[in-house]
Chain A
Amino acid sequence: MTDEELRRLILELICEIAPEADPAIARDQDDLRETFDLDSMDFANLVVAIHKRTNIDIPEADYNKLFTLKSAIAYLLAKAKA
């Protein structure tokens, strides 16, 4: 998976969780939860969805690494290679 593919995937999954979300406003450094008004349940659902699509294991302790697009992509790329 490439950087860009992961980025598109994450935004696509966010749009499924928050249909009102406009993916165009996402900036790499921003907290996704702030940008798209995601609460704890939304975020848990995002992790579930990412896990389902990528089969990457994401322990709960690592949830905070998914808060921004930049960190999420880096984390998932690293986990995918491992």
Chain B
Amino acid sequence: MPALGADMEAGTLVEWCVKLGDHVKSGDVIAVVETQKGAIEVEIFADGVVSNILVPVGERVPVGTVLARIGGAGAAEATSAAETLAVAARTPPSPARAAPEFRRAQPSAAPQASRLKVTPVARRRAAAFRLDLAGIRGSGVEGAIRLADVEAAASKASTAPPAVKRGLDLSEMRKAIAAAMSRSKREIPHYYLSETVDLHAALAWLERFNAEKEPIDRVLPAVLFLKAAALALREQPKLNGFYENGTFAAAEAVHVGWAVALRGGGLIAPAILNADKKSLAELMSSMRDLVERARRGGLRGSELMSPTVTVTNVGDRGAETVTGVIYPPQVALVGFGRVVMRPWVVDERIESRPIVSISLAADHRVTDGHLGGLYLAAVARLLQEPERL
């Protein structure tokens, strides 16, 4: 059971999308889990064959619980001796022959004593690393897998722990938002900056860009904001990453959590991956897809877990300025207010110009206002050269 939110403790398995013996590859959706943030599709991060399904539909299990086991690609093969022992305790002998009778016979054949021994902290860490414990050799008391074993296995597999754990929500979303935002305001010393930016050039360019295009290919101003915000993060990597356990770790990529308001209340910020590297057209289609699925409840776990920063855009019916609350453990939130027509001084003259207020809420434990100011200046600068976005 993946952690799909900073405060998620358990989830209910509502649907299995695979069955015993199915071949799966990394990225496949294998199950649907109901969380505080709604139904989330759980993906697999390895290739192989489903060798055991451990959690039945309808069961609510804590985060970190193994939902299913994946055998190596090719079915009944190359598991090490230690692995075989551990797997045998919990797995019907062969996926192909896993008839119901076999499963019923299993409990008496596999006494509880052969359960995999794992220390509590090691189990927790393995879940964070998404490591399959069955493959790890224990060096602890009574052969238990302990922290050092998990860490060694993790570094060998060079699977970094998932950068963030993010959640999605439906009926209980309010609770989840309350928990995350309270934690944010309790723990994060926010500082706020804002910059008012003339969008004359950007919107004029966008009008031309959209002019010859079919409606489906037209790009919203929000996409320019997203791209500018993402590109500027490359210049200020200290705003892009996570503050956990007293230290900041910059993220390698820019995965922008795009705040999507749900009709009737609630907010989700699923990731637009590598937003700094996508074209405007790609960003528009990502955003369209994400908004649609966020509202339908078809987001994937990985989309909730990966944002490294959040961008919120209030749109044309929103307020003129927005100052956000950072989503921990992220360290920054960039807000775009409503575009408004305002008098603006151009070459000593006053002109009517479309103006947007761009704000930054950032974590003072990681950065200071000077750096935040440089970031906003970069966003403003990028928006003056829309053709380069």
Chains A and B touch each other in the complex, with CB atoms below 8 Å apart: yes
Check if A5 is an interface residue, CB within 8 A of chain B.
Answer: no
Do residues B288 and A45 form an inter-chain contact, with CB atoms below 8 A? yes
Check if A61 is an interface residue, CB within 8 A of chain B.
Answer: yes
From known contacts A18-B263, A37-B263, A39-B315, infer whether A44 and B211 are also in contact, taking CB-CB under 8 Å.
no
Fill in one digit per residue for A40-82: 1 if any B CB lies within 8 Å of its CB, else 0. Answer: 1110110110011000001111000000000000000000000
Which of the listed residues B211, B215, B263, B296 has the most CB atoms from chain A within 10 Å of its own CB? B215
Q: How many residues of A contact B (CB 8 A)?
A: 20
Check if A4 is an interface residue, CB within 8 A of chain B.
Answer: no
From known contacts A39-B261, A41-B291, infer whether A60 and B222 are also in contact, taking CB-CB under 8 Å.
no
Give the dominant DSSP class at B's interface: helix
Give the dominant DSSP class at A's interface: helix
**A60 CB contacts on chain B under 8 angstroms:** 207, 210-211, 218
Q: When the two chains form the complex, which single residue of B215, B263, B315, B317 contacts A58, counting CB atoms closer than 8 Å?
A: B215
Do residues A44 and B315 form an inter-chain contact, with CB atoms below 8 A? no
Q: When the two chains form the complex, which single residue of B214, B216, B264, B317 contacts A39, counting CB atoms closer than 8 Å?
A: B317
Check if B287 is an interface residue, CB within 8 A of chain A.
Answer: yes
Check if B316 is an interface residue, CB within 8 A of chain A.
Answer: yes
Check if B67 is an interface residue, CB within 8 A of chain A.
Answer: no
Check if A7 is an interface residue, CB within 8 A of chain B.
Answer: no
* A47 vs B292: C-alpha distance when bound (angstroms): 15
Fill in one digit per residue for B115-132: 1 if any A CB lies within 8 Å of its CB, else 0. Answer: 000000000000000000
Q: How many residues of B contact A (CB 8 A)?
A: 21
**B221 CB contacts on chain A under 8 angstroms:** 40
Which of the listed residues B207, B210, B288, B315 has the most CB atoms from chain A within 10 Å of its own CB? B315
**In whole Å, how far is A57's beta carbon from the nearest beta carbon of chain B?**
9
Check if B220 is an interface residue, CB within 8 A of chain A.
Answer: yes
**B261 CB contacts on chain A under 8 angstroms:** 39
Do residues B220 and A40 form an inter-chain contact, with CB atoms below 8 A? yes
* A40 vs B287: C-alpha distance when bound (angstroms): 12
Do residues A44 and B317 form an inter-chain contact, with CB atoms below 8 A? no
Do residues B216 and A34 form an inter-chain contact, with CB atoms below 8 A? no
* A41 vs B214: C-alpha distance when bound (angstroms): 15
**B216 CB contacts on chain A under 8 angstroms:** 48, 51-52
Which of the listed residues A20, A40, A58 has the most CB atoms from chain B within 10 Å of its own CB? A40
A21 (CB) vs chain B CBs: closest residue = B263
**A58 CB contacts on chain B under 8 angstroms:** 215
Apart from A19-B296, A60-B207, what 8 extra A-B contacts exist at CB < 8 Å?
A20-B263, A33-B317, A34-B317, A40-B220, A40-B315, A47-B215, A48-B215, A51-B214
Residues of chain A touching chain B, judged by Cβ–Cβ distance below 8 Å, are 18-20, 33-34, 37, 39-42, 44-45, 47-48, 51-52, 58-61
8 closest A-B pairs by CB: A48-B215, A51-B215, A40-B315, A39-B315, A47-B215, A37-B263, A48-B216, A60-B210
Residues of chain B touching chain A, judged by Cβ–Cβ distance below 8 Å, are 207, 210-211, 214-216, 218, 220-222, 261, 263-264, 287-288, 291-292, 296, 315-317
- 15 A-B interface contacts by CB (under 8 A): A20-B263, A33-B317, A34-B317, A39-B315, A39-B316, A39-B317, A40-B220, A40-B222, A41-B220, A41-B287, A44-B215, A44-B220, A47-B215, A48-B216, A60-B218
